[in-house]
Amino acid sequence: MSLLEVASLSVSYQTRRGRIRAVDDVSFALERGRCLGIVGESGSGKTQTCLAIAGLLSPDAVVLGSVRFRGRELVGASRRTFNELRGKDIAMVFQDPMTALTPHLTVGSQLCEVLKVHEGMRAPEARRRALEIMERVRIADPERRFDMYPFELSGGMRQRVMIALALILRPALVLADEPTTALDVTVQAEVISTFRAVIEHTGTSLLLVTHDLGVVAGLCDSVMVMYAGRTVEQASASEIFEAPAHPYTRALLDCLPRADRPRGSRMVSIAGQPPDLAALPTGCAFAPRCTRADDFCMQRVPPLEVGGLQHAVACRHPGSLA
Ligand SMILES: Nc1ncnc2c1ncn2[C@@H]1O[C@H](COP(=O)(O)OP(=O)(O)OP(=O)(O)O)[C@@H](O)[C@H]1O
Ligand SMILES: [Mg+2]
């Protein structure tokens, strides 16, 4: 049994323009100590997938399918169940630490508070554990930073505090939604290597949402690529980078800045319009932007089919695309 098993998960909403599926028939599994990256452009359903797992969707969301955490079904679980799990077993890291950190409390008191509330720890012990986790996420000079307020820290340091807060109760699963997007590239790389070190040390599983395949390369074991709420490709990280099969995955890879390209040619983006969930085409949602699309692609949604070794792709013309 995997730590997290998501099967045929769908999240839909009734909108003024009709019913939309923010997440459409998504399935994946995450093992203990592993990192799965969910990648896709804005609006592809990455955050909605995370929120469904954490039980944090808005009340008007209709959720179908199954989310099993340690074998326990979470779709339809009570608020109390989620509150218990979110405190201790499942933690979240968001893009903007300022919204998640309490501005008028010092870093140390926020970390200690969590330990007091959840583990009934007394002050000296909580302080010790807080300093230990601060050190583990490589916050330099933790004793001094313990007494600082969030606004006194740099963006990268604040994000490390967020990671420390997420990890302090030693959760089995961390859901990280664009945890490094707000940071500049160098700091991003540092925070990612911190994350990886902590995961390797503690055996925590990480579900990492990002629109940046570069982040995936540094951190993830496997990758799920989403487009318009659906999974279009799923494989190990090395497969995704070495043998991407879906034209959309290839287009995302082409958008990555590369050392061998001249500067200034970095801002590549995928041609065409991102999909409108309220007016999706009949066939493959990516077809209108796809150079490979034919009439058949326009007529039917391609099913997600397993090709190679645990490599699944939803495309009629997968494989090497010159
Ligand atoms: N309460 C809601 N009612 C209707 N539609 C919603 C609601 N919440 C989210 N959506 C829609 O769900 C879709 C998927 O959103 P989601 O936030 O998961 O995208 P994302 O992949 O995380 O994008 P980003 O990279 O911008 O964060 C979007 O089209 C969004 O408008
Ligand atoms: Mg999002």
Cβ of 179 less than 6 Å from ligand 1: no
Q: Which pLDDT score is estimated for 321?
A: 46
Higher pLDDT, 186 or 321: 186
Say if residue 265's pLDDT is above 60.
no
Residue 59 in contact with residue 13, Cβ under 8 Å?
Answer: no
CA of 38 to the centre of ligand 2 (A): 10
pTM tops 0.85: yes
Higher pLDDT, 191 or 143: 143
Sign of the CA dihedral 72, 78, 84, 89? positive
Q: Which pLDDT score is estimated for 263?
A: 55
- Nearest-CA residue for ligand 1 atom 16 is 45
CA distance 16 to 296: 30
Q: Which pLDDT score is estimated for 260?
A: 62
CA of 22 to the centre of ligand 1 (A): 6
Region of 278 (left: φ > 0; alpha: ψ -120 to 50; beta: rest) is alpha
Q: Which of 169, 158, 174 is nearest to 91 (CA)?
A: 174
Q: Which pLDDT score is estimated for 194?
A: 84
CA distance 51 to 63: 11
Give pLDDT tens digits for 181-231. Answer: 877 878 888 888 888 888 888 899 999 998 888 888 888 999 999 999 999
- Nearest-CA residue for ligand 1 atom 22 is 47
Cβ of 181 less than 6 Å from ligand 1: no
Give pLDDT tens digits for 267-320. Answer: 567 888 889 999 999 999 999 999 999 999 999 999 999 877 789 999 999 876
| Percentage, residues of the chain above pLDDT 70 | 95
- Nearest-CA residue for ligand 1 atom 19 is 43
What is the number of the ligand 1 atom nearest to the C-alpha of 11? 12
Cα dist. 10→25, 27, 265 in Å?
5, 9, 38
Say if residue 163's pLDDT is above 60.
yes
Cβ of 88 less than 6 Å from ligand 1: no
**pLDDT-based confidence at residue 262 (cuts at 50, 70, 90):** low
Q: Which of 253, 244, 247, 239 is nearest to 211 (CA)?
A: 253
**pLDDT-based confidence at residue 264 (cuts at 50, 70, 90):** low
Q: Which pLDDT score is estimated for 322?
A: 41
The residue to mutate among 17, 20, 62, having the most atoms of ligand 1 within 8 angstroms of its beta carbon, is 20
Q: Which pLDDT score is estimated for 268?
A: 62
Token digits of residue 85: 């799990």
What mean pLDDT, rounded, does the chain reach? 90
Q: What is the mean pLDDT of residues 71-93?
A: 93
Say if residue 266's pLDDT is above 80.
no
To which H or E segment does residue 46 belong?
A: helix 46-54
Residue 182 in contact with residue 150, Cβ under 8 Å?
Answer: no
**pLDDT-based confidence at residue 261 (cuts at 50, 70, 90):** low
Q: What is the CA radius of gyration of the chain?
A: 20
Say if residue 60's pLDDT is above 60.
yes
Q: Which of 65-74, 101-110, 140-149, 190-199 has the lowest mean pLDDT?
A: 190-199
State the CB neighbour count (10 A cutoff) for residue 186. 9
- Nearest-CA residue for ligand 1 atom 26 is 42
User: Which of 276-313 are b and which e, b meaning 16 or more Cβ less than 10 Å from the residue's Cβ?
Assistant: ebeebbebbbbbebbebbeeebeeebbebeebeeebbb
